[in-house]
Amino acid sequence: MSTQETRTSIVWDYAPAPESPDHVRLRDSYGLFVDGDFRDPLDGTRVPTLNPATEEPVAEVAFAGPADLRRAVESARRAQPGWAALSGLERSKYLFRIARLIQERARELAVVESMDGGKPVRESRDVDVPLAAAHFFHYAGWADKLSYGVGGRAAAPVGVAAQIVPWNFPLLMAAWKLAPALACGNTSVLKPAETTPLTALLLAEILQEAELPPGVVSIVPGDGAAGAALVREPDIDKVAFTGSTGVGKDIQAALAGRAVSLTLELGGKSANIVFEDAALDQAVEGIVNGIFFNQGHVCCAGSRLLIQESVADTVIGKLWERMGRLRVGDPLDKNTDVGAINSREQLERIQSLVSAGEEEGAVRRSISCELPERGWWFAPTVFTEVAPAHRIAVEEIFGPVVSVLTFRTQAEAIEKANNSTYGLAAGIWTDKGAKAFEVASALQAGVVWQNTYNHFDPTAAFGGYKESGFGREGGAAGLRPYLRVT
């Protein structure tokens, strides 16, 4: 491994700009949000949720046991006919109210998201929270126009949805799941990830404040066992899962033979393709955003960087120089670019794949930066001399690590980009519009960005090909999984 100092000789630094957590009103302990209220677990436990930047507990949270999940599903079933019987206009008023309340509590939600998950507050403030509100606004607009979203056909809700989300965008993924389900007249039992339950529980407070009828949404934190038990509950009609491909397969097997509809948003190893005619400085910004945004804990991260051979040295040089300016550290500092790794377990996963990359002969460069003594951190890293068969070119690292491959022709770029079991997203950097369209239409990826990356919008459908899953979230396409269309 070679670790290099990359800062230029001009030394200047930012003054710390910490976002204060003083305005945050967290309870010491949260119950399960079931049937409209926070309740003690029947057979679950209580566990502390840790701040990954300090390893200190932020609050204590109830984890659901089997009886708790049963109670939540029963309350969703009771609430569903009444919720579906409301006019679309009435349901949309609730969704608007939720969106407005998210906006009102935006600062608090952003700080808690960063404390619980480790992401820079700049991102939770500017991306996660505004986009979560935007999803509720968007689907509020759809609630009274559902049949227009499905080609003018009659549409009815599916029923009770079990929704399971991961830890990388806790509030945003909850919004992606809840907003379309509720707009379509379904009720939901939402299970947040074990390491990041807090913003979902603040959202539960918002649902109470919005006077959402009891049982329309229950929020039941818990571990993988709780997720596995939830999808096996007999009285559910739909499962919407976002998480790893391994767990997605397990869920698919568990639902085989049952009349439960399923959407899976799974992992990725997305190709970010830079052609020689691209605006290279702009492309470098997109590469950085593509892989270091949210510490690389992004399903659609541009983790395979494909650069045309003629500009590879230039792009790698510019990238390395730009990486040297990334600020790694306190997630609550507004200057921070790369925050903490979400958990010790995830850090170990990243370390193990990075070691595999070195052992297989790729060349690793990690930026030199001072990492805090406590907490879980990983310095932004680039691998060159990567072969397509290396594990770091094939497996999802889910950390701030980019693997560089090169190509000579457009055909080779397409072939290499598609040489993956995944197919979630891709990026194309080129000056030529026709080339971008031609390449995009040949890529097996659910989302293709041109001259940008990690750009999200509630009106745009998001989802995968191949082992990245099936079903779409966002836009009109995101209504379809929550409706029975006749």
Which residues are designated catalytic?
Answer: 265, 299
Residues 219-278 that bind ligand NAD (CB under 6 A): 223-224, 227-228, 231, 242-244, 247, 250-251, 265-268
Q: Which is nearer to ligand NAD, 430 or 468 (CB)?
A: 468
Among 143, 158, 171, 193, binds ligand NAD (CB under 6 A): 193
Q: Which is nearer to ligand NAD, 42 or 255 (CB)?
A: 255
Q: Which is nearer to ligand NAD, 149 or 464 (CB)?
A: 464
With CA atoms as reference, report the closest residue to 350 among 391, 293, 319, 313.
391
CB-based closest residue to ligand NAD: 227
Q: Is 318 left (phi over 0), alpha (psi -120 to 50) or beta?
A: alpha
Q: Which is nearer to ligand NAD, 128 or 265 (CB)?
A: 265
Can you tell me the distance from the alpha carbon of 129 to that of 357, in angstroms, rounded to the nearest whole number?
35
* Region binding ligand NAD by CB under 6 A among candidate stretches 57-65, 88-96, 161-169, 430-438: 161-169
How many chain residues bind ligand NAD (CB under 6 A)? 30
Tokens of 411: 């055909």
Q: For 348-475, where are the E strands, in sequence order?
A: 363-367, 381-384, 401-407, 422-423, 425-429, 447-450, 465-466, 469-470
Distance of CA 349 to the CA centre of its chain: 18
Each residue 377-406 as x (binds ligand NAD by CB under 6 A) or -, in order, gives -------------------x-x--------
Residues 408-427 that bind ligand NAD (CB under 6 A): 424
Can you tell me the distance from the alpha carbon of 16 to that of 35, in angstroms, rounded to the nearest whole number?
43
Q: Are 446 and 248 in contact (CB under 8 A)?
A: no
**Packing angle between helix 106-117 and helix 88-104, nearest 10 degrees?**
70
**Rg (alpha carbons) of the chain, rounded to whole number:** 22
Can you tell me the distance from the alpha carbon of 298 to that of 192, in angstroms, rounded to the nearest whole number?
16
Can you tell me the distance from the alpha carbon of 201 to that of 116, in angstroms, rounded to the nearest whole number?
12
Q: Are 345 and 398 in contact (CB under 8 A)?
A: no
445 contributes a contact to ligand NAD by CB under 6 A: no
> How many other β-carbons are positioned within 10 Å of the β-carbon of residue 105?
22
Each residue 288-317 as x (binds ligand NAD by CB under 6 A) or -, in order, gives -----------x------------------
Nearest approach in angstroms of CB 353 to ligand NAD is 13
Q: Which is nearer to ligand NAD, 166 or 215 (CB)?
A: 166
User: Whats the size of the chain, residue-wise?
Assistant: 486
Nearest approach in angstroms of CB 462 to ligand NAD is 6
Nearest approach in angstroms of CB 448 to ligand NAD is 15
With CA atoms as reference, report the closest residue to 402 among 385, 382, 378.
382
167 contributes a contact to ligand NAD by CB under 6 A: yes
| Burial of 253 from C-beta contacts in 10 A (0-12 / 13-18 / 19+) | exposed
Nearest approach in angstroms of CB 468 to ligand NAD is 6
Q: Which is nearer to ligand NAD, 19 or 116 (CB)?
A: 116
Among 194, 233, 333, 467, binds ligand NAD (CB under 6 A): 194
Q: Which is nearer to ligand NAD, 329 or 400 (CB)?
A: 400
Nearest approach in angstroms of CB 20 to ligand NAD is 29
Binding site for ligand NAD (CB under 6 A): 164-168, 191, 193-194, 223-224, 227-228, 231, 242-244, 247, 250-251, 265-268, 299, 396, 398, 424, 464, 468-469
